[in-house]
Structure formats: C-alpha cells, structure tokens
Amino acid sequence: MSFVADLLILGTAWAHVVVAPYTKVEESFNLHATHDVLMYGVSPDALDRYDHFTFPGAVPRTFIGSLLLGWATKLALLLAARTELVPVTSKLDVQIAARLVLATANALGLILVRHAVSRRFGRPTSLFFALLTCSQFHLPFWMGRTLPNMFALLPVNVAYYLLWNRASNATRPSPTSTSTALGLLVFTAVVFRGEVALLLAPMALYTLLAGYIGLLDLIGVGITWGFLSVALTTLVDSYFWDEWPLWPELYGIYFNVFQGKSADWGTSPPLTYFTAHLPKLLLGALPLSALGALADARARSVLFPCLAYVALLSALGHKEWRFITYVVPLFNVAAARGAWWLASRRKSNILGRFAFALALGTLAANTLITAASTRASMVNYPGGVALARFNEMYAGQEHVHIHICNLAAQTGASMFLHEHAPPYLPSSSSSPSDLSLSLSSFFFNEPNDNTPKEGWTYNKTESLTPALLASPSPSSSAVTHFTHLIVEDTPAPFVATGQWRVVEAVEGFARWTLDLPASIGDVRGGGGIDGMRKGIRGISPREVVRELAGWSPNRWMGVVRMERAERLWILERT
C-alpha cells in the first residue's frame, strides 16, 4: 500500500503535465532559461542567444534551478531515446520532458514527506496524506511548472522530511537532521525565493524553543549556509546575466519589498491568505487540518510554523497563492491526522459511520473540484494550441514570418514551440542507438555550431499594436515582412484591409454554466443564479424534487457545462 501511495503522488503529478502541456507567462523565465541551457549550452559564446537578454523581466532571477533542470532533462531524454520508452519528435516533447523531470523531483519531495508522516503518525495517516494531496488541484497541477516557487518547493519539502522523519515516541530529530533542514531553508531563501526566510524564522524559533538545536549552533548554521548560498548564486548568476556582482533574490527583495514595486501588480486585504488563498489551495483539507490539530499535539506542532509564516506574509500588500504553497504539505499532514481520526471512529453507531462518510466525502468533493479545475485548465492555454496548430498547418513551407501577440505569448506560445526555427533537434527517424548518439552530441557538444541559420521567424515584438498590424499602409517596414499573424483582437479590421484572411480561430475556456430544467429556471447566459431563484419561486418544492428525480444519469452528467469562447485567430497574408 505504501508503494501504491507513492505511485499515486507521482502519477498525479505526471498526469497534470500530460493533459496540460503548455505554460503561462509566469513560468516563462525559467522555462526559456531551461530551453537555452538545453539548446545552446552554457559556454560564453552561447550566452548571446539566450532569451533573457531580449526579455529580461522586471527583476533578474537565478539560473541555478534552470541549470539543474536542463542537465537532468538531458539525461532523461538520452535515457528515453536509448530505451525507446518515450519518442522525442519535437521541441514540445522536450518541454514536456523538462516539466516531467521537475514534477518528478517535487513528487519525490512529497513522497519523502509521506514517509516521514508514516513514521511519525502511522501508515493510515500517511495514506490519507497521499489521498488529500492528490485530490487537490493547485499543488499537483503546478509542481511540474517552472515557477520559481516550484524550484523552491523541493528543498523545503526535504527540510520537512528531516525535521519530522522520526518515530512517534521520539521527542526530537537528530542534531544533524535539524541543522541540515534549517540550512536547506536558508539556501532556498537566498537562492530561489526570499519569502522562505519568513518560513525559516518561525521554524528556527520552534526548533530552538523545543531544544532541537542550540543558539550558537543555530547561528553557525545560518552563517555557514548563508555564505555558501550567496557565493553560489552570485558566481552562477553573475556569469549568466553578465553583471558582476549579482545576487538575484536580494535584488528582487529590494525591488518588490523595499521599493514597494510589488504593489504595482495589485494589493489585497491583510486576511486574504486566510480567507481566500488557503481555502483554494487546501479545499476540504482546511477544516480537517483544524480537526487534526485538536486531536493531536504533534499536528499542532506541525501547523505552528505554517500559521506564523502565513501571518508574517500577510503584512505584505501584494498577495498570491503561490507565495504560500510551501505550507500546503504541512497543512495536509494535519488534515490527514484529522481524516484518520474521523475514519477510525467506531462504526457500530451512527456517529461513527457519519464520521467515516465525512472523511471519504471530503476526498470525493476535493476530487470533483479538481476534475473541474483540471478540465478548464486543459483548454486555458490558447497560445500554445494556436502556435502548435500553426506549426502543423504550415509544416514544409519556407519564408514564414509570424507575429505572436501578447495573449498568445502569455498562454503557451513558448520558445519550445518555435519548431521550425533553429536550433533543430536530431531526426527521430533514425534507430534508437543512432538517435541516442545524435541527442548526446546535440546536448553535450554545443549543438548550434553547425546548425543551419535559415528557418521560420517567430516574432514576439510587443510594440506592434493591432492598429499598426492591420493598417493597409503600415509605417513600419517590419510589419510588411509578416506572412502570418496570431492576434487576440477581433480579426475584422485585419480582414477589412483585404491583406489578411482568417485561417483558424482558437477557443479557450470561458466559464462553467449550470444546465437545469427549464421549469426550475435557466441559469445560462444572463439568467445566472437570479434566474434560477426566480424559476424556483415559481413552482412548489415538491415539483422541484419531482423534476430533479426524473432526470437520467446522463442528464445529471450534463448539469455542469463548460463554455468556450474564441480567444485567438491565425491570419494569413493574402
């Protein structure tokens, strides 16, 4: 059963990557950095072709995570080619492979936490931990995505494992485990995400008060790991950004916190993490975690650093769910303890049976919400779909110059989808041994030295407005070179010029609607909930029950319906 639970965590992470292979703009820096590491290598001559010099972003980010992911992906691709497990036929396959590698790493971190839960709380609680984790949406869906937070998640989970991987009757972890766990949190805060320092603070205080570590040892851990981490990120990132000295995360903290620039992306009320983001991340695990804390003092000790971290982070005006994603595993530990408390009640009375049903019902409700969220997310990347479709439609043509609009670039049109532009992957038509040798040469011997320079041009220039692109007499000579466009605005002005025609429209997620019987009220379109309420007021409760009871199972499956809307259009010059 333990092995099955581990496979469930890994399989859930992989499934989210496979069903939603495209990416969003938040992932673009690390995704494109990984692309450049894979495709160009890391020699000084290769750096000129790196994407971050063209699109640097608001603040510099570390290359350490992308370097490690790129190197691990190289090995995974070579293994796949050698064993014929997974064919590598396109750059999109490489993107999926990189995301699967990241998902695997984070899944292994959660598996370590589950094993620590098994030792500390028992196997049934660890099974509920796995089920709760896999039934949630945000963590499994995003842990294979190249957000900086997802690179930080692995060392944070390893730190959790070191602190709580001990027998149920053990009073404290070993000094080595404590020091290593705190050191990993220092490393994560220095290199990947500065907000982890706010998690480190209550965690260090707790270990100090609980007697896990002495004050001098705690100071020594902070100085040693801090110095080594600063040295590492400064050496690596100064090289890749061509700026000395550069500590990216310190620059980001100064820009976002001390200069207050994070407020430019919006601010939220102080309690937003507690009232909105935690319920969204945890779903049914939130009330179960409160029950687990009431039932077991060990669960309370797990939750203390989490609550303190969220409270400290609430002082910042700009709030996003991903800033608190690190506490989800620990909340799930407490929730798993609460779920097992419910499931272990005596089934000989109605209260015990109700408690058991409540635990299973929570998992079922989580799964339904996650299924709906995943289904919507699968069609929420129109940019990736549009560019992949474009590559397929015009494969074999030459002299293609396409402009990619902002929405397309933000919703999946990554550099891994520049399929018909250099660098080109080795042909997949060769034998497995030849393909493995070709991939080895490509990834480990500066692949672009002998790469042809001709190919399609994928242009993402942001300053080219729709009015300029649609103008019959464009003032910019660059616009006249475009043979195709992917646009987010209505294509009518483009078509009206006579220079463009619509090739295909790409749909994306619009909303979920309820499809109830007409006698109860139509909630589609503008009717909404008010329309349903008016319909219900027009008939008796008995008629409502009779109407709903007469529905077939197939009819019930169609109660919730996903609506799509056209988001992007592929245009061709006439």
Per-residue pLDDT of the chain (574 residues; tens, 9 = 90+): 788 999 999 999 999 999 999 999 999 999 999 999 998 888 888 888 898 888 887 788 999 999 999 999 988 888 877 776 767 778 899 999 999 999 999 999 999 999 999 999 999 999 999 999 999 999 999 999 999 999 999 999 999 999 999 887 888 899 999 999 999 999 999 999 999 999 999 999 999 998 999 999 999 999 999 999 999 999 999 999 988 999 999 988 888 888 777 777 788 899 999 999 999 999 999 999 999 999 899 999 999 999 999 999 999 888 999 999 999 999 999 999 999 999 988 888 888 899 999 999 999 999 999 999 999 999 999 999 999 999 999 988 888 999 999 999 999 999 999 998 888 876 655 555 555 556 666 666 555 444 555 789 998 887 777 767 766 555 555 577 889 999 998 888 888 888 889 999 999 988 888 766 555 544 433 444 454 454 445 555 665 555 555 555 555 455 677 888 999 999 998 8
Phi-psi region of 174 (alpha: psi -120 to 50; beta: other; left: phi over 0): beta
Torsion angle of C-alpha atoms 53, 56, 61, 67, degrees rounded to 10: -40
Identity of residue 515: D
Task: Give CA–CA dist 423/371, Å, rounded.
Answer: 37
CB distance 152 to 196 below 8 Å: yes
299 exposed, middle or buried (CB, 10 Å; 0-12, 13-18, 19+)? buried
315 exposed, middle or buried (CB, 10 Å; 0-12, 13-18, 19+)? exposed
Task: Please choose, from the candidates 276, 221, 471, 85, the residue with its C-alpha nearest in 3D space to the C-alpha of residue 212.
Answer: 221
Question: Which residues are within 8 A (CB) of 168 and not within 5 positions of it... i.e. 6 or more apart?
Answer: 119, 120, 121, 122, 298
| Confidence at residue 512, expressed as pLDDT on a 0 to 100 scale | 82
Question: Which residues are within 8 A (CB) of 193 and not within 5 positions of it... i.e. 6 or more apart?
Answer: 148, 149, 152, 249
Task: Please choose, from the candidates 182, 176, 186, the residue with its C-alpha nearest in 3D space to the C-alpha of residue 230.
Answer: 186
CB distance 217 to 276 below 8 Å: no
Q: What is the greatest pairwise CA distance in the chain?
A: 82
Query: For residue 543, is it within any domain?
Result: no
Query: For residue 86, is it within any domain?
Result: yes
CB distance 185 to 196 below 8 Å: yes
| Confidence at residue 522, expressed as pLDDT on a 0 to 100 scale | 44
Domain count, the chain: 1
**Both tokens assigned to 421:** 């532009």
Distance, C-alpha 101 to centroid of its chain: 13
Q: What values do phi and psi take at 487, rounded to 5? A: -120, 150
| Confidence at residue 496, expressed as pLDDT on a 0 to 100 scale | 85
CB distance 414 to 38 below 8 Å: no
| Confidence at residue 538, expressed as pLDDT on a 0 to 100 scale | 53
Residue length of the chain: 574
| Confidence at residue 540, expressed as pLDDT on a 0 to 100 scale | 58
pTM, to two decimals: 0.89
Task: Give CA–CA dist 326/136, Å, rounded.
Answer: 14
| Confidence at residue 542, expressed as pLDDT on a 0 to 100 scale | 60
Q: Whose structure tokens read 């509920």?
A: 128
Secondary structure (3-state) at 377: helix
Query: For residue 181, is it within any domain?
Result: yes
| Confidence at residue 228, expressed as pLDDT on a 0 to 100 scale | 96
Query: For residue 147, is it within any domain?
Result: yes
**Which residues does residue 564 pair with via DSSP β-bridges, in sequence order?**
509
Secondary structure (3-state) at 23: coil
Query: For residue 78, is it within any domain?
Result: yes
Q: Whose structure tokens read 């990132």?
A: 237
Task: Please choose, from the candidates 139, 103, 108, 143, the residue with its C-alpha nearest in 3D space to the C-alpha of residue 327.
Answer: 139
Angle between helices 196-209 and 215-241 (to 10 degrees): 160
Identity of residue 73: T
Residue 64 domain boundaries: 1-379
Query: For residue 475, is it within any domain?
Result: no
Looking only at the bridges linking them, the beta strands covering 401-404 and 484-487 are: parallel
Task: Please choose, from the candidates 230, 266, 264, the residue with its C-alpha nearest in 3D space to the C-alpha of residue 249.
Answer: 230
Q: What values do phi and psi take at 207, rounded to 5? A: -65, -30
Question: Which residues are within 8 A (CB) of 99 and not within 5 positions of it... i.e. 6 or more apart?
Answer: 17, 21, 23, 144, 145, 146
Secondary structure (3-state) at 201: helix
CB distance 141 to 129 below 8 Å: no
**Both tokens assigned to 11:** 């399989």
Query: For residue 480, is it within any domain?
Result: no
**Both tokens assigned to 272:** 């937003």
**Both tokens assigned to 236:** 């690596």
Query: For residue 314, is it within any domain?
Result: yes
